[in-house]
Structure 1
Amino acid sequence: MTRTEEVEIEGVPMVATLVPGRGGIGLLALHGSNEGGTAQLAELVARRCAATSLVFTQPRVRPPVHIPSPRLGPEHCALLREFLARVSLTVSLHGHLRPETPHTIFLGGRNRTAAHVLAEALTATAPDFRAVTDPTAIPPGLRGMHPGNPVNLTRLGGVQVELPLLARTSGGADIPPGPVVEALVAGVEELLTCGAPRRDPGLC
């Protein structure tokens, strides 16, 4: 059953929307109003995989305020605490606007095994985009390695997926392109099939 919670973080009113699912994978969009298409992508992939999703939006704030992920902690939101307790691994969807990498998807976060699983799915199904997993090749602000970042607070950590505009919108609207949706669905389903992946190599 879908549930919502109104929260205020650093003076910014937000709405958190949780859709519980099955399995140990959760889709998270912390900046649903700031980073177009990420909320829609989290909801689509979670629905297709019967996974849990949690999306934060700022429906009454114009323009939306970007609060860094480590400052959007569970102490602010009961639904985030429930999300973190419900799932063992998080796939956190974000958007970047790096002009030098308009076709690059960066896969950060502390679960490097899961990052490689998602990268393989993206390479196979969304070949127009380059999937980067090497943390040293990811811009520091996009690596998602901070211990307080919600992507790293589940039992097995998670993957911070930083998507360029072309990988999360289409036709000037917040409609994720089909190949990216299909790739993330395939990657999440692989993670679900293999069980909760460890942080170290050796999945499945």
Structure 2
Amino acid sequence: MTDTPFRDLLATPGVREVCRLEGRLGFMAYHGGSLEHLTDVIADEAAARSGASYYGVLQPADLTWHIPSHRVSPAESPVLAGFLEHVDMVITIHGYGRHGMWTTLLLGGQNRELAGHVSAHLRPALPEYTIETDLEQMPKELRGLHEHNPVNLPRKRGVQIELPPRVRGTSPIWADWKGPGHVPHTVSLIDALATAATALSATAASPSSTPSPPALRQNPGAGHTL
């Protein structure tokens, strides 16, 4: 890996960097496109429906270049730097797959109050899934706590959501799905994320109602999404 992997990725033919600056809450999906399937679509649609900002990096079909989150640096992208300056906090969408965790969504990141807010919307929308907010129950590398992870760079930091294949509609159980649109679980997920984001925007004018980060700190090497 080079010293500037994210810059090199963005310069690769076919890679698209997408950004919309709207509300002070943002959605991110910088492992989008062919890498972590449908993460960019989920983040984009939830942001569009809630008036949130959006940042995504989409890889073409012939590329699956995984850069660890702590190496996704705003110093290598003026667009990402502008996005992180604009938003107060973020919801970052990732995809993962672990044996025995096919129906578990992991809500990591340093803003634990925001994680609780989002989980309160996800649980009733996705009753077939476990919505995990206990950091100790998550694999260390999927907790999203690294200080250089983009989810923790806005002023109020954010929540990192790791989605298993089933809720993204990429599991074999959806092989017979003909549409139209997303599979039902993905629709419910996007609905819940948009509702959670809209609720935050509605209370943003009241400091006492806006989730702010707790006193959580993590040594740089202790946990980051791969």
The TM tier, using the shorter chain, reads 0.7 to 0.9
Alignment of 1:71-86 (within 5 A): 71-86=71-86
Structure 2 counterpart of 1:198, from 187, 212, 219: 212
Aligned to 1:37: 38
Q: Offset of 1:175 from its aligned partner?
A: 4.0
SS at match of 2:156: coil
Provide structure 2 residue ranges, at least 5 long, that are not aligned to the other structure: 205-209, 216-226
5 Å-filtered alignment, 1:169-188, equals 169=169, 171=174, 175=182, 177-188=186-197
* Structure 1: distance between partners of 2:63 and 2:77: 22
Cα deviation, 1:21-59, whole Å, max 9, x if unaligned, reads 12x100000100211010000110000001100000122
Distance 2:160 2:145 in 1: 9
CA RMSD of aligned residues (A): 2.1
Q: Is the 8 A contact 2:51 2:198 kept in 1?
A: no
Partner in structure 1 of residue 100 of structure 2: 100
| Structure with the bigger percentage of strand | 1
2-structure distance, mates of 1:154, 1:125: 28
> Is residue 103–residue 128 contact of structure 1 (8 Å, CA) maintained in 2?
yes
C-alpha deviation, 1:126, in angstroms: 1.5
Contact 1:104/1:163 (CA < 8 Å) preserved in 2? yes
> Secondary structure in 2 aligned to 1:30?
strand
Give 1:11 shift.
Answer: 3.7
TM superposition score normalised by structure 1:
0.88
Residue 109 (structure 1) aligns with? 109
Structure with max Cα Rg: 2
The whole-number CA distance in structure 2 between the counterparts of 1:126 and 1:137 is 19
Moved more, 103-112 or 164-173: 164-173
Does the CA-based 8 Å contact 2:5-2:67 persist in structure 1?
A: no
CA distance in 2, matches of 1:17, 1:175: 21
Structure 2 residue 11 is the aligned partner of structure 1 residue 9: no
CA distance in 1, matches of 2:148, 2:82: 16
Deviations 1:69-109 (A, max 9, x none): 11011011111011001100010000011121100000000
Judge conservation of contact 1:108–1:159 (CA < 8 Å) in 2: yes
Where 1:9 maps in the other structure, the secondary structure is helix
8 Å contact from structure 1 (residues 117, 190) kept in 2: no
Kindly tell me the number of residue pairs found equivalent between the two proteins. 193
C-alpha distance in structure 1 between counterparts of 2:21 and 2:119, whole Å? 25
Q: Which runs of 5+ in 1 are unaligned?
A: 1-6
- Structure-2 separation of matches of 1:90 and 1:117: 13
Q: 1:72·1:150 contact (CA, 8 Å) conserved in 2?
A: yes
User: Deviation digits for residues 122-174 of structure 1, max 9, x if unmatched?
Assistant: 00112121101011011111100000000000000000000001112254599
